[in-house]
Structure 1
Amino acid sequence: MNDTSGRRDFLKLGMAGLAAAGALTAVSAEKAAAQAASDSVLRTALDRGKLIVGTGSTNAPWHFENDAGELVGMDITMGRILAKGLFDDPTKVEFVMQDPAQRIPNVTTNKVDITIQFMTMSAQRSQLINFSRPYYVEGVALLTLPSSENKTFDKLLAGGSATRVSILQNVDAETSVHYALPQAQVMQIDTQANVLQALESKRVDAAAVDLSTVRW
């Protein structure tokens, strides 16, 4: 595969895992209670009687509100599965809405027990928090408007530094975009919904979006 075709594929793989200040593992409620140290996050959650999970609400299919205004998605389901393992009751979980920039700070300051918010694992982040084993490997796709003059990959690449790409704010955002479009301007944005809005309003030529979102 040559360099151009590799960029055309633009599948930068990342691993998503649960982020926690202390290891929280989905085991039986009895085993969880027996294994929890007196000063651990797990012990605190068990004594409280519910799990507090930091997550989002704007990134389908991972976390979003359905037509009834209910919080749903893969991350939400993961939170309920964890509550089922800890308390034998999937309803014993409280979801705290947070933007992506709060995913680590809210864990380290104990505002939440755990973050389940589609978070890429990295060595830098692992110095601050603990990750679970990965539960999903993601790719990235470029979205363009059908009416755009630069709607193909070749046109975006040929645009060089004039090409503008929006992407969700992330430690790997610049690297992800420049792997496919080395000279493109990168606009990092706070939510996935706003990443797409930047494209719809023609502030950018393309939006770099998780492949799972595109398929959704």
Structure 2
Amino acid sequence: MKKFIKLTFISMLAVIILAACGGKDDTKTGDAGKKETKDVLAQIKERDKIVFGVKHDTRLFGLKNPSTGDVEGFDIDIAKSLAKEILGDENKVEFKEVTSKTRIPLLNNGDIDAIVATMTISEERKKEVDFTDVYFEAGQSLLVKKGSKIKGLEDLKKGTKVLAVKGSTSAVNIREKAPDTQVLEYENYAEAFTALKSGKGDALTTDDSILYGMADEDPSFELTGGTFTDEPYGIAVKKGNTDLVDELNKALNALKDSGKYDEIKDKWIKQQ
């Protein structure tokens, strides 16, 4: 009986030890895997290419040229210059289309390494992503047909319709600042501007930098009422990638110090 009890005890102890060892190994594997997926900068340098999420519908910042198929704009040139600073060649870059609604999910899924897409830094977004330093200062405004009675926020009353883009801070801001107006949201800026031109709304709201592009495309529209928010743009990366944030900030500072940043800005944002 004593021998049986002793053997049973040894067997139970062995099971416990093996289970504990297995648990430790799984934890290490899990931690290692988690760390590997988080270290986006290492992946970028290993593949020798950086993948940026950019807009395809935002004139002056990120707009697909139908004749060439290339995406062009301020954000695009900034992204290329960042790739040159980090990897030594502006061609070591890949662009994937994002919208205000899809950019964070695509980033968190690992489809893109960073977002350069007129993305405003906000406290709410900081809970989901990490941002670099500000790379462009913008402010929310209104775009209207020339001759419109809407001259500012005070004219957005009951019965007026304002167009905005889904997933943008602009939609949130306009509801707060003009609670009586009706806000209609569209998938992207191209759809929203088309809706404004077809008379489905009285005004379109987003950052002034984007609205300048629309007015440049169709001079029968104009900005009105000045800016009523501060919209600092930042480059977004997946949460926890501090090394990548530091590398991008270092590259941004280099562009500003060399004068390359001002060169790109003057090329695209002539109205600013």
Give your verdict on TM over 0.5. Answer: yes
Root-mean-square deviation (CA), in Å?
Answer: 2.3
**Matched ranges for 1:88-103 at <5 A:** 88-103=88-103
Question: Aligned partners of 1:120 and 1:155: how far apart in 2?
Answer: 22
TM-aligned CA distance change 1:170 to 1:38, over 3 Å: closer
Question: Aligned partners of 2:94 and 2:104: how far apart in 1?
Answer: 18
Question: Aligned partners of 2:152 and 2:126: how far apart in 1?
Answer: 38
Unpaired runs of 5+ residues, structure 2, are 1-34, 214-272
Question: Aligned partners of 1:47 and 1:210: how far apart in 2?
Answer: 36
Question: Aligned partners of 2:36 and 2:69: how far apart in 1?
Answer: 38
Residue 210 of structure 2 aligns to a residue whose secondary structure is helix
Question: Aligned partners of 1:176 and 1:190: how far apart in 2?
Answer: 17
Instruction: Give the percent of matched residue pairs that are identical in Structure 1 and Structure 2.
Output: 25
Q: Which has the higher helix share?
A: 2
TM-aligned CA distance change 1:85 to 1:156, over 3 Å: closer
In the TM superposition, what is the alpha-carbon distance from 1:209 to its structure 2 partner?
A: 3.4
TM-aligned CA distance change 1:207 to 1:132, over 3 Å: same
In the TM superposition, what is the alpha-carbon distance from 1:68 to its structure 2 partner?
A: 2.9
Question: Aligned partners of 1:68 and 1:144: how far apart in 2?
Answer: 31
8 Å CA contact 1:62–1:73 kept in 2: the answer is: yes
**Matched ranges for 1:1-216 at <5 A:** 40-66=39-65, 67-146=67-146, 151-153=148-150, 157=154, 160-178=157-175, 180-216=177-213
- AA of the residue aligned to 2:82: L
Residue 101 of structure 1 aligns to a residue whose secondary structure is coil
Deviations 1:132-162 (A, max 9, x none): 0011121222222247xxx122698456221
Question: Aligned partners of 1:122 and 1:71: how far apart in 2?
Answer: 26
Question: Aligned partners of 2:103 and 2:46: how far apart in 1?
Answer: 23
Residue 165 of structure 1 aligns to a residue whose secondary structure is strand
Question: Aligned partners of 1:175 and 1:101: how far apart in 2?
Answer: 13
Question: Aligned partners of 2:156 and 2:127: how far apart in 1?
Answer: 38
Residue 199 of structure 2 aligns to a residue whose secondary structure is coil
8 Å CA contact 1:166–1:207 kept in 2: the answer is: yes
Determine which structure has more spread, i.e. the larger CA radius of gyration. 2
In the TM superposition, what is the alpha-carbon distance from 1:100 to its structure 2 partner?
A: 1.8
